[in-house]
Structure 1
Amino acid sequence: MKRFVLLIVALVVAANLCSFASDKTVEPTKNAFKTKTKSVAIFKDGYGFFLREGKAALVDYWCMTDYIPKAIAGTFWLYTLERGTVVDTVRSTGKNNIKFDKPADLAAPLARSVGLQISLTTDDGTVEGELLKVVDDMALIKSGKQVNVIKLSDIKSAKVQGQPMLIQVKGGKPDAEVTMRMGYLQQGINWMPSYTLDLVSSTEAKLTLRATITNGVEDLTDCTVLLVVGVPNFLMKPQFDPLTVHSLGTAVLGALPPSIAAPSMSNAQIAERARVVMDGDYGGEDIPTVNVPAEGVQDLYFYEKKGLDMAAGDVVMTSIMEGTLSYRSLFTWDADIGKDVFHYVVLKNGLSAPLTTGPMMVIQGGKVLGQDQLKYVPIGAEGRLKLTQATDIRTERTEKELERDKREVIDGITYLLAVTEGQLVIENRRGEVSEVEVTWSVDGKVLEASDGAQVSSSAKPDQGLNPKSGLKVSVKVDPNSKKTITYKYSRYVRARA
């Protein structure tokens, strides 16, 4: 849990630093304040940590907002930016009647509720809709495409519709103006990286990283986007936050079967029902699953993109990073599988950021050479990309038994110790020196291997006395020439009776 809380703090801090730089305009201050998404940290697994901001005018230390996100349990945060102030209490309730003794008393509280959904009752009936403005002794209510003008003197009762979030701020003046920030983890947005690698010379390549962002949740305007390398563990991912679920009220419960959405449900029951909705049908806001390998337990890294605009439902591809890398060609031969040799490009990440896992297309001179999945490459490390089968490098593996005459009795069974010699021949028909990495294995104990081959052995229970030995070596083969790698190993074979 401590690690989880620290992660949320880190996301909030990172979002705060980025959002200050993109702050341009602020809406007129109201008690019922509006918020704008300032930044979002997007994970590859379909979740994003959003940070919204708005100005609010307190009334007796309270303000309210009707923007309620579908936040994941334990990730919903509200806080103020002003020194000495703190969010003390957050309440979700449907009892939001506006109290007044005479119609003239309505002007001030209604003016503070501009932008909210309001219900005004007169002798002629009830008008519901968005409160657009209060002008002198009139209230303007937008219902669909129609704007109704209601005299304050005709109003018998007034109520804020739905279940807006009520927020109490302590530490300042009861009528102070405060900057509210709202942070939360929400499902419905993801990103997929893709690369192009242009081989501009025999040793240098230009790398371009782009991100394809699929947004299924909310509009982003002039937003700072943090694309996260790595997928952290969020314990409560399958569940909605009870507070936000309660405020969403009818919208969430309406998505549930009638037999489940009982009006008498407690907060705990609502949260549990909401979890069912989230696991099954995400309220019509499903987005395509992106099958991108995660970076496991590695530390998080953020690629930053400022000033991004995209509406809910949009898919956007945007450039993230460009740089020049050094590379070399490498040919690999797995002698256990067959004779085929494959051409790889080995990248050296000399950039200031790690390279996240993603598909990479390799081009040279405007021609496509191939595409492969680049696995996560830390700063300063190397990564490999498979290009194609190398037809100009031929290979051959041969073995011959040198002797089988030494007898040993082990556990009452007679064995012969056989010694075998092998050769791996590589013929390079390319017009340049080629580096070839060779891997192979033998059932037995390696006695010797040329060219400084690395040897690793492990017991094989099904093979009795003989270990499984793996060998690996990298050699450079001159153009139009051959290279021979030799090795020798021993193994026990059961003697015939």
Structure 2
Amino acid sequence: MGYIRAFVATSLLGGLAVAQSSPSLPATHLKPKTVTAFKNGLAFVIRQGQAESQGGSGYLTRVPPAALGTLWVAPLDANVTLDELVATRISATYRAETRSATSIGDLLRANVGKRATLLLASGKEVSGVIRAFGPGSPTASALLYLEGDAANPGYTPFQPGDVKQVAFYELPASAVQTLQPEGDATEGKQLALRFRVKGATGPVNLTMGYLQSGLGWTPAYRITLEDDKTATIAMQALMINDAEDIENAEVFFVVGFPNFAFSRVLSPLALQQSLAAFLSSLARLPISGGENALSNAVLSQRAAPYRPEAADDAGTINGLLEGAAQSEEDLFLYGRQNVTLAKGERGAYNVFSGRVGYEHVYEWEIPAAPPVTVDSRRVTAPTETEPEKIWHTLRLTNSLKFPWTTAPALAMSADNKPLAQETLLYTPVGATTSLRLTLATDIRAQQSEQEAERKNDAVMINRSAYSAVAVNGALTLRNYKSKEVRLVVRKSVIGEVLSASHNGKAERTAEAVQSVNPISKIAWDFSLKAGETVTLTYRYKVLVN
């Protein structure tokens, strides 16, 4: 019994339109004009258009599953104000269609009557028979009703958005029947917003904005090494639409750390939950708010270490129109015009391409060897016999006019041969970042440490006597390549650094501040000619008892 994973869609039939509405008032569907998509699956959508009204009143159909406090409707005409907005249901005629299930909500709807186990966002598992998605017509509610067993009898309502995984006890159906307007079908109900404006009696231009889940994007990079100093970096936006149809809309792909504290709580105007369910969803919010519970390695940012190295030039940008990229407070937006993407589709869009400077750097990261206990004495751990790992990396400088967001990056040679794929970390304008290519086999390294001096009972700490041990270390590197290379070596030690050769720079970190021994780091940055060997030496003091 395997779990089926999918994007969670809180609105299963958000694309339904009114075929026959209540005769007293006209109904209008406003189409999306702009979409601001975030990497965590949230999007802020703005719909605009001319809405028909009778005496200043009318219906807006295709009500979105908006987050609490984000659904707003406003007139665009001068001297016209919104007086009332009411979420309701109006009559509509539908015909049946069958389509593939693309979300957990679809799978649940397609398997009504089957026994399943649901894994909720809280981590709790519940089992029972799937009975319905709410009472009444297919669009009346998106609530999931689960009939429990003898231990938990009765019907329990759930929000489909709270279901993260589902396991079925028999082969599940993979297709779901949906209802579309037109043709032979049954009468049903359609969610709608009834509006009333002041200052207009006929058609009125309206805008509607809201935040919803099910529409997001993820970036991907291609880095092509043109020569020994110049690379072309291209970013592609991969857009995932499980929310609603988009036609000729302007889309903004956002880079940054969005904070929408109520994104997991549906607005009452979405008309998809009872008062009890609404209050329950509020009670489940984390105390600190925010989006921390939604973060993961693909949807969040990780920043590259800041290295204040100035770019040699401003870089060259291709394929990005002026004004298409802009900054809003601490967020950065990449813009794209005329995007058409239906619900259930995925799209890939080239956002920018630019030339930047880079350098081949070979990096050796050496962790601290912790002291070990031997016959009640603490001594330095012996060096491992495994080959030392030196990484061949690309040191890229962001000389473009906009930051690089965290994303997978494919490195290619000038003749389009793949070199490596690694994560490109968030890199601000003017900063540098390292991208690992492969382990360097033509640069060999060895390390060793020996006890040089010991002073027994040198220090008393908390009534305990500590001996001061001085340790000498050596790092030997040999360049077997036919050309000079740049090497960056970083060595961590447990103790206080006393000296380091070859202009090694030592610093004490704030790690393990409660320990009697500090965590220190030594860094070397130098060039090594072809065939040469260098030995870096250092000395540090560690307290043992």
TM-score of the aligned structures, taking structure 1 as reference length: 0.69
1:373 and 2:449 are equivalent in the alignment: no
| Per-residue deviation, 1:293 | 4.0
**Counterpart residue number, 2:394:** 345
Q: Closer, same or farther in 2 for the Cα pair 1:305/1:371, shift >3 Å?
A: same
1:187 and 2:213 are equivalent in the alignment: yes
**Counterpart residue number, 2:504:** 453
Alignment partners' CA distance in 2, 1:58 and 1:296: 49
| Per-residue deviation, 1:348 | 0.6
1:434 and 2:485 are equivalent in the alignment: yes
**Counterpart residue number, 2:363:** 332
Match of 1:357 among 406, 410, 419: 406
Q: Closer, same or farther in 2 for the Cα pair 1:216/1:275, shift >3 Å?
A: farther
**Counterpart residue number, 1:484:** 535
1:166 and 2:174 are equivalent in the alignment: no
Q: Closer, same or farther in 2 for the Cα pair 1:421/1:161, shift >3 Å?
A: closer
- The residue type equivalent to 1:184 in the other structure is Y
Between Structure 1 and Structure 2, how many residues are aligned? 383
| Per-residue deviation, 1:144 | 4.0
- The residue type equivalent to 1:439 in the other structure is R
Q: What does 1:376-415 align with in structure 2 at a 5 Å threshold?
A: 376-404=426-454, 408=458, 410=460
| SS in structure 1 at match of 2:276 | helix
1:470 and 2:492 are equivalent in the alignment: no
Alignment partners' CA distance in 1, 2:215 and 2:470: 61
- The residue type equivalent to 1:420 in the other structure is V
| SS in structure 2 at match of 1:164 | strand
| SS in structure 2 at match of 1:354 | coil
| SS in structure 2 at match of 1:243 | helix
Q: Closer, same or farther in 2 for the Cα pair 1:77/1:424, shift >3 Å?
A: same
Stretches of structure 2 lacking an aligned partner (at least 5 in a row): 1-24, 95-179, 284-294, 304-328, 368-383
Q: Closer, same or farther in 2 for the Cα pair 1:166/1:481, shift >3 Å?
A: same
Q: What does 1:133-144 align with in structure 2 at a 5 Å threshold?
A: 144=182
| Per-residue deviation, 1:162 | 4.2
Match of 1:294 among 300, 308, 326: 300
Q: Closer, same or farther in 2 for the Cα pair 1:421/1:231, shift >3 Å?
A: closer
| Per-residue deviation, 1:485 | 1.4
Q: What does 1:36-115 align with in structure 2 at a 5 Å threshold?
A: 36-94=31-89
Alignment partners' CA distance in 2, 1:168 and 1:296: 47
CA contact (8 A) 1:460 1:466 kept: no
Alignment partners' CA distance in 2, 1:290 and 1:381: 24
CA contact (8 A) 1:439 1:471 kept: yes
| Per-residue deviation, 1:92 | 2.6
CA contact (8 A) 1:52 1:181 kept: yes
Q: Greater CA radius of gyration, 1 or 2?
A: 1
| SS in structure 2 at match of 1:60 | coil
Q: Closer, same or farther in 2 for the Cα pair 1:189/1:414, shift >3 Å?
A: closer
Alignment partners' CA distance in 2, 1:420 and 1:204: 43
| Per-residue deviation, 1:404 | 3.5
Alignment partners' CA distance in 2, 1:430 and 1:51: 57
Q: Closer, same or farther in 2 for the Cα pair 1:217/1:470, shift >3 Å?
A: same
| Per-residue deviation, 1:371 | 0.5
CA contact (8 A) 1:459 1:466 kept: no
| SS in structure 2 at match of 1:234 | coil
Cα-to-partner distance string for 1:287-324 (whole Å, 9 max, x where unaligned): xx985141389921111111111111111112111111
| Per-residue deviation, 1:58 | 3.7
Alignment partners' CA distance in 1, 2:188 and 2:194: 11
- The residue type equivalent to 2:183 in the other structure is K
- The residue type equivalent to 2:233 in the other structure is L
Alignment partners' CA distance in 1, 2:227 and 2:209: 47
Q: Closer, same or farther in 2 for the Cα pair 1:270/1:403, shift >3 Å?
A: closer
Cα-to-partner distance string for 1:440-479 (whole Å, 9 max, x where unaligned): 1233322111233222235887997543322122121112
Q: Closer, same or farther in 2 for the Cα pair 1:67/1:429, shift >3 Å?
A: same
Q: What does 1:297-308 align with in structure 2 at a 5 Å threshold?
A: 299-308=330-339
Alignment partners' CA distance in 2, 1:204 and 1:168: 60
More helix by share: 1
| Per-residue deviation, 1:65 | 1.6
| SS in structure 2 at match of 1:84 | coil
Q: Closer, same or farther in 2 for the Cα pair 1:187/1:415, shift >3 Å?
A: closer
Identity %: 28
**Counterpart residue number, 1:175:** 201
CA contact (8 A) 2:55 2:202 kept: no
| SS in structure 2 at match of 1:353 | coil
Cα-to-partner distance string for 1:115-165 (whole Å, 9 max, x where unaligned): x8389xxxxxxxxxxxxxxxxxxxxxx984269xxxxxxxxxxx9964531
Cα-to-partner distance string for 1:310-365 (whole Å, 9 max, x where unaligned): 11111111211111111111111123486221111111111111111100000102
CA contact (8 A) 1:335 1:397 kept: no
| SS in structure 2 at match of 1:59 | coil
**Counterpart residue number, 1:215:** 241
| Per-residue deviation, 1:44 | 1.3
Q: Closer, same or farther in 2 for the Cα pair 1:290/1:450, shift >3 Å?
A: closer
1:313 and 2:364 are equivalent in the alignment: no
1:241 and 2:241 are equivalent in the alignment: no
Cα-to-partner distance string for 1:219-239 (whole Å, 9 max, x where unaligned): 111111111112412121222
CA contact (8 A) 1:346 1:385 kept: yes
Alignment partners' CA distance in 2, 1:210 and 1:417: 56
- The residue type equivalent to 1:356 in the other structure is T
TM-score of the aligned structures, taking structure 2 as reference length: 0.63
**Counterpart residue number, 1:104:** none
Q: Closer, same or farther in 2 for the Cα pair 1:83/1:326, shift >3 Å?
A: same
Q: Closer, same or farther in 2 for the Cα pair 1:463/1:144, shift >3 Å?
A: closer
**Counterpart residue number, 1:269:** 276
- The residue type equivalent to 2:237 in the other structure is A
CA contact (8 A) 2:62 2:191 kept: no
| Per-residue deviation, 1:407 | 6.7
1:145 and 2:196 are equivalent in the alignment: no
| SS in structure 2 at match of 1:82 | coil
CA contact (8 A) 1:71 1:240 kept: yes
Stretches of structure 1 lacking an aligned partner (at least 5 in a row): 1-29, 97-115, 120-141, 148-158, 246-251, 254-264, 277-288
